[in-house]
Amino acid sequence: MTLKEAIDGCFEARKTELKHDGVAGRWLSPLSVHIIPSLGRYPVEDIDQHLLKSVLAPIWHSKPSAAEKALNRVNLTLKHAAALGLDVDLQATAKTRALLGKQRHTVTHIPSLPYDKLSVFYRMLQSKNLVSALALRFLIMTVARTSEIRFATFGEIIDDVWYLPPERTKTGKEHRVPLSAEAQSIVFCARNNTDGDLIFPAPTGKVLSDAAMSSFMDREGYRERPHGFRATFRTWVEEQTESPFEVKEAALGHVVGSDTVRAYQRSDLLEKRRLLMEDWAWFVAHSGRPAVCRAPINKAS
């Protein structure tokens, strides 16, 4: 059995544990890029620390996360091969780490806009008649993830709540997002400017590019990223409100507490989050007036 065949078998065995059965390819990606091209044809029983070091050394410090993921998944693959009865070295990855040494890796956070500068940024967004600007406004009002905004549909919104289905959340659980008056006005504006179900479609009518909102911020001279607005919100809510920890985290769609705690505490704190998101909308937009909407909107992202 080659290493490539062992990797494929391991992936098949683990698919049900992965989000969307691993269809996005994220589990396989580090292996496909960094391991399989060089070592895929080798018999899995021949894989040792010297071979692994040879392919991972060039990225061990420059791409530490990718290298670590690749090594972890090779370890799982070797365990899978061992379970099949093959004579593999289950210590190969540990020996590889010993040869490569500690990674030089500095954690960098996604740049975020300070909350005291957010109102100015938001007013700038209101002056732009673009889908990407409208999507950014909704992202800020809901503190949702970029992918959740890009794939958002009108069918997911019922009254004043946005229902994110499990397959579209990072946690794999349904997430209800209470929509402030400002957020609802943005949806109303978007509905008046598209015939499809996507709230923020690209000019082609398809899903907005994953770079559209970031590119907009680049063009406007901002180095911060869309995902950073979640950190902006979390900092504001920590410093400017008395909201309980559970409410703050639930607003971001985070899972809070152990399995035992969640088994007994089953509320998603929707009503408490509703009040918090109205306060957030008021802070960002200052006046709490409905969102500015010019029609027809310029669909160029």
Tokens for 181, please give them: 């008056």
Q: Are 153 and 260 spatial neighbours (Cβ–Cβ below 8 Å)?
A: no
Q: What is the pLDDT of residue 291?
A: 47
Average pLDDT over residues 62-71: 92
Q: What is the pLDDT of residue 20?
A: 60
Provide the 3-class DSSP secondary structure of residue 210: coil
* pLDDT tens digits, 147-194: 999 999 999 999 999 999 988 888 888 899 999 999 999 999 999 888
Residue the block writes with tokens 């794999």: 172
Q: Are the folds of 3-100 and 115-285 the same?
A: no
Higher pLDDT, 74 or 288: 74
Q: Distance between CA atoms of 163 and 170, rounded to whole angstroms?
A: 14
User: CB neighbours (10 Å) of residue 292?
Assistant: 17
Q: Are 175 and 169 spatial neighbours (Cβ–Cβ below 8 Å)?
A: yes
pLDDT band at 227 (very low <50, low <70, confident <90, very high): very high
CATH homologous superfamily of 3-100 equals Tyrosine recombinase, N-terminal domain (1.10.150.130)
Provide the 3-class DSSP secondary structure of residue 227: coil
Give the H or E element holding residue 176.
Answer: strand 175-178
Average pLDDT over residues 110-139: 93
* pLDDT tens digits, 76-115: 999 999 999 999 999 999 999 999 998 876 656 778 899 9
At residue 1, does pLDDT exceed 60? yes
DSSP states along 100-129: H-S------PPP---GGGHHHHHHHHHT--
CATH of region 115-285, choose from 1.10.10.10, 1.10.443.10, 1.10.8.60, 3.40.50.1100: 1.10.443.10
pLDDT band at 289 (very low <50, low <70, confident <90, very high): very low
Q: What is the pLDDT of residue 168?
A: 86
Tokens for 140, please give them: 């800020």
* pLDDT tens digits, 232-286: 999 999 999 999 999 999 999 887 765 655 554 557 889 999 999 999 999 998 6
Give domain limits for the chain: 3-100, 115-285
Q: Which residue in 271, 231, 275 sits closest to 254, CA to CA? A: 231
Q: Are 71 and 97 spatial neighbours (Cβ–Cβ below 8 Å)?
A: yes
- Using a pLDDT cut of 70, give the percent of the chain over it: 88
